Amino acid sequence: MKDIINDIQIAVAEAVKEIYKTDIAPEDFLVNPTKKEHQGDYTLVTFALAKALRQAPPKIAADLGDYLATARPWISDVEVIQGFLNISLGDDYWSSRLGEMKRDPNFWKPAMPKEKVMVEFSSPNTNKPLHLGHIRNILLGWSVSKIFEACGHEVFKVQIVNDRGIAICKSMLAWMKFGKDQTPEQAGRKSDHFVGDWYVRFETEFVKEYTLWQSTDEAKAIFEKRTDRDLDTPAFFKSYKNKYFNTISALGKEARELLLKWEAHDEETIALWKKMNGWVYAGFDETYRQLGVDFDKLYYESETYVLGKGIVEEGLQKGVFYQKNDGSVWVDLTDDGLDHKILLRSDGTSVYMTQDVGTAQVRYDEFGAKRMTYVVADEQNYHFQALFAIMKKLGAPYADGLHHLSYGMVDLPEGKMKSREGTVVDADDLMRTVIDEAGEAAAEREEVDDDIIRMIGMAALKFFIIKVDPRKRMTFDPKASVDMHGQTGPYIQNAYVRIQSILRRAESSDSGYAGYVVNEDEKLLLNMLGQSAGIIENAARDYSPAVIANYAFSLAKEYHRYYHEVQVLKAESEAAKNFRLQLIETIGVVLKNTMDLLGIEMPDRM
């Protein structure tokens, strides 16, 4: 179904051809909904046409207005204000729009050429449970996937799990030393949190060890030899911590030895590693289930970290990369405004970039998606710029389809959220909190079942996060996130619930609404419903679910207003009642479908 603006644009283009004998494309000029303070439904902005037609904008508006008002029966009235042509549409046109939406169940979404699209999101580490930052990531990734699906694409949702390295070894070591073969069940702890607890325990023990060491003669000697004389004792030991871990620490040594054993495929170590990661995955699955998301394929760094070496060798042969005397392999990205980037260390081992190059290729081989979106925080902007530049240099057929959906950090009101500062907001805790809050709000009303309370709480949380433009850093206000009034998920759910409540009470009637004169509020609503497909297209183009969140909110707001303005079941005529029932049902369809793109469920009652 074409939207109204498109209809008008075509009519205008035809009028231009008729009057000025000039060809102009319908999308080369602007048609907007008319501002409330002016007469009319849609406004043609004629300034863009002025150059091509070599006429003054008001003249163009007048000419086109005269022509359209007589030649197009569905245009009932026109008015010229300076360079703006305000166009009013006839009643028949408006009510026929509603019928078209009824007939086409897909009217709300765009029809685009099908493409294969891959979206990578979440991508956690296995040593800690998911937190607020992951939630933003996951909601964005999930929503973008749903949006692409709505556009008609075939979407593959993947995540890459960082399951290797020193971090998980710390958890393993702490568990071996202090865990006494305990299991999550015995500890009564969600299994990913259980593993995270051992990571924290390791850090605690390490800090204890480090603090004790600081009063030894060895430490004092090192402090005296410091190069930066400005550092006082606490500042020096803060900066020395990493060095201490890698050189002197007994715990550090044990952890590094464990990593070496893992790399040597030591049987016992691998078994423990599998056991602990298994606990983590079971915990993650539960969190994902509560968030309402899933994946088509998981990649593990323990498998992918060896990838890419072959491609780098090839690139070296082709002269895309170069080798330094020490044997390390580099790429020169200065043409792209970047620096030189290393791809293979002098000992021949791979770096992060090598792995990403390899993983991209493997995924392309597996899925054949020429578009891949990486949902990763903006601290990695530079990395992805470099990665995409490298893929282009290598001539990968999918290089132009690579996209980094970069999003800003989530701040807490107190300051930056970092796990080491202990202000991390745990994903499971957060979800529990918002659902509890929804339960309390519901208790003041009437009893509602747990599933609906869950939907309401999750809607509050998800909408709060997703309504913000991904690029922007956002401040997470715990109090505002559980708010159910105003610009929130529950507000939109409430609009839907009101619609369903009316529809439940309505007796079916087939008498139709022929001859019904659509009022201004209804025109506005029909207009908004017609925009749905275009909005989704924009959201896909900009990789921005926030666009849809804002649209759904506006539509719900307009509906709430309408609800107070008119009676549906006790409408002034049978035609009015039928028209309005049809209208609000359609609003309900669009609300439910657009909110689904954000991963938000719509209850029938609340």
Partner RNA sequence: GGCUUCGUAGCUUAAUGGAUAGAGCACCUGACUACGGAUCAGGAGGUUGAAGGUUCGACUCCUUCCGAAGUCACCA
Q: Strand pairing of 329-332 and 322-323?
A: antiparallel
Which residue is associated with the tokens 């619609």?
499
Instruction: List b or e across 22-49, with b for residues whose CB sees 16 or more CB atoms inside 10 angstroms.
Output: eebebeebebebbeeeeebbbbbebeeb
Q: Let me know: does 128 contact 199? Beta carbons within 8 Å.
A: yes
Of 369 and 539, CB closest to RNA? 539
DSSP state of 486: S
- Other Cβ atoms less than 10 A from the Cβ of 14: the count is 16
Of 319 and 415, CB closest to RNA? 415
**Nearest distance, CB of residue 309 and RNA, angstroms:** 13
**Nearest distance, CB of residue 463 and RNA, angstroms:** 11
Q: Interior CA angle at 390 toward 389 and 392, to 5°? A: 65
Q: Let me know: does 175 contact 202? Beta carbons within 8 Å.
A: no
**Nearest distance, CB of residue 34 and RNA, angstroms:** 5
Q: What is the token pair recorded at 162? A: 């960082």
Nearest C-alpha neighbor of 577 from the set 484, 496, 526, 511:
511
Of 114 and 473, CB closest to RNA? 473
**At CB < 8 A and 24+ separation, what contacts does 282-288 make?**
282/191, 282/192, 283/129, 283/184, 283/190, 283/191, 283/192, 283/193, 283/194, 283/195, 284/124, 284/130, 284/192, 286/190, 286/428, 287/129, 287/130, 287/192, 287/427, 287/428, 287/431, 288/122, 288/138
**Nearest distance, CB of residue 149 and RNA, angstroms:** 22
Of 189 and 241, CB closest to RNA? 241
**Nearest distance, CB of residue 357 and RNA, angstroms:** 13
Of 23 and 447, CB closest to RNA? 447
List of residues 6+ apart from 122 with CB closer than 8 A = 130, 134, 137, 138, 141, 159, 288, 293, 295, 375
Q: Cα(351)–Cα(375) distance, rounded to whole angstroms?
A: 20
- 30-33, strands of its sheet edge to edge: 30-33, 42-45, 84-89, 75-81
Of 189 and 563, CB closest to RNA? 563
**Nearest distance, CB of residue 567 and RNA, angstroms:** 5
Q: What is the token pair recorded at 518? A: 């659509």
Of 293 and 442, CB closest to RNA? 442
**Nearest distance, CB of residue 191 and RNA, angstroms:** 22
**Nearest distance, CB of residue 466 and RNA, angstroms:** 10
Of 290 and 385, CB closest to RNA? 385
Of 490 and 599, CB closest to RNA? 490
**Nearest distance, CB of residue 294 and RNA, angstroms:** 24
**Nearest distance, CB of residue 125 and RNA, angstroms:** 7
Partners of 350 in the beta sheet? 344
**Nearest distance, CB of residue 475 and RNA, angstroms:** 5
Which residue is associated with the tokens 């208790």?
443
Of 35 and 238, CB closest to RNA? 35
Of 289 and 561, CB closest to RNA? 561
Q: Cα(342)–Cα(330) distance, rounded to whole angstroms?
A: 4
42 φ, ψ (degrees, to nearest 5):
-135, 150
